[in-house]
Amino acid sequence: MPLDRSRSASIPTMPLLDTFIDVPGGRLKVVAEGDGPPIVLVHSAVVDLRSWDAMVPLLVRAGYRVIRYDTRGFGESTTEDVAFSNRADLVAVLDAADASQAAVVGNSRGAMIALDTILESPERFVAYAWVGGGIGGYEGGEPSAAELALFEEGDKLDSAGDAKGLLDLELRIWLDGVGQSPTRVPAALRDAFREMDGPLLQPGHVFGKPQPLEPNAASRLGELRIPTLVVVGALDTSGTRASAAHLAESVDGARFVTFPDVAHMVGMEAPDRLAALILELLAPLPRWT
């Protein structure tokens, strides 16, 4: 998966927003491409907006405007060490892109941010794709022995300030999949993951202090009334898979899809299949702006 920003090479006529917006105590990188109803993509906690590079052209070619951004402290976005709302940041991104409503796709932590924002500002969203994520306030499933060993190793590496060791470990868990071969995923994807995750693990990196949604999402899943897609990889962690099943069971009409050969970074590993599912989710909806 390329990490360059030569987006206009494949679709030379599409409009492009590539800017920074100011938010209280921070600055967010925002990119928008294409024409049509807006879709906003929210990345996970181990990468940045480039993790969606392979999916964006697929959604743009299908007639959608694709908005993505680096959350605070990730990629090119910055923050002071202040309390802030990820939900307010996402709404600010929509406002900056002149999107009164959007479909939202979130991976991992991004899925949690998206869910919380839907619950806080339901009028801004028309559909939701939860991809290998979590649910605020829900602790699903006991980790396997192999997972527990890796998580404990991660705590030790973090305490020791071993950024390189922690990067290697996070790659094994979140991209390769626990217990999977390091050759399962193409080398280009592993290089891309390292490029995005490495800076996040440096000592002293500032992420700010995100404030949780109250009451939490786990207690409010019955409020989710927009078309919902739940996607998880069978090679993802047991906790993520349990969260996926719980969300699908709790949201009326949710579609639940498991990719048997994919781990946590679904949009990086299987962009074609994920984009196709998103397009199926959105196809029956009236056009929105």
CATH code of 39's domain = 3.40.50.1820
Asked whether residue 125 is assigned to any structural domain, the reply reads: yes
pLDDT of residue 15: 54
Asked whether residue 28 is assigned to any structural domain, the reply reads: yes
pLDDT of residue 140: 79
Number of domains the chain contains = 1
Q: What are the backbone dihedrals phi and psi of residue 33, each rounded to the nearest 5 degrees, phi first? A: -140, 145
Average pLDDT over residues 152-162: 96
Q: Mean pLDDT for the chain?
A: 94
Q: Looking at the chain, how many residues does it have?
A: 289
> Do residues 197 and 47 touch, judged by C-beta distance below 8 A?
yes
- Given a cut of 80, is residue 212 above it in pLDDT? yes
- Given a cut of 80, is residue 41 above it in pLDDT? yes
pLDDT of residue 12: 38
**Cα–Cα distance measured from residue 244 to residue 32, given in angstroms and rounded to the nearest whole number:** 28
Asked whether residue 86 is assigned to any structural domain, the reply reads: yes
Average pLDDT over residues 254-265: 98
Strands (E), 135-208: none
Asked whether residue 234 is assigned to any structural domain, the reply reads: yes
pLDDT of residue 119: 98
Look at the pTM and tell me if it is higher than 0.75: yes
SS3 for 283?
Answer: coil
Read off the tokens for 266: 């679904």
Asked whether residue 162 is assigned to any structural domain, the reply reads: no
**Cα–Cα distance measured from residue 252 to residue 265, given in angstroms and rounded to the nearest whole number:** 26
> Do residues 42 and 117 touch, judged by C-beta distance below 8 A?
no
- Given a cut of 70, is residue 2 above it in pLDDT? no
Ranges 3-7, 22-26, 96-100, 135-139: which has the least confidence: 3-7
- Asked whether the bond before 215 is cis by omega within 30 degrees of 0, the reply is yes
Q: What is the 3-state secondary structure (H, E, C) of 97-122?
A: CCCCCEEEEEECHHHHHHHHHHHHCH
Asked whether residue 151 is assigned to any structural domain, the reply reads: no
Asked whether residue 115 is assigned to any structural domain, the reply reads: yes
> 137: Cβ–Cβ under 8 A, 6 or more apart, which residues?
215, 216, 217, 218, 219
Other Cβ atoms closer than 10 A to 13: 6
**Cα–Cα distance measured from residue 173 to residue 226, given in angstroms and rounded to the nearest whole number:** 31
268 is in which domain, residue-wise? 7-141+205-282
pLDDT of residue 1: 31
Torsion angle of C-alpha atoms 244, 247, 250, 252, degrees rounded to 10:
-100
Q: What is the number of alpha carbons within 13 Å of residue 185 lying toward its C-beta? A: 28
Asked whether residue 198 is assigned to any structural domain, the reply reads: no
**Cα–Cα distance measured from residue 119 to residue 180, given in angstroms and rounded to the nearest whole number:** 36
**Cα–Cα distance measured from residue 201 to residue 244, given in angstroms and rounded to the nearest whole number:** 27
pLDDT of residue 177: 98
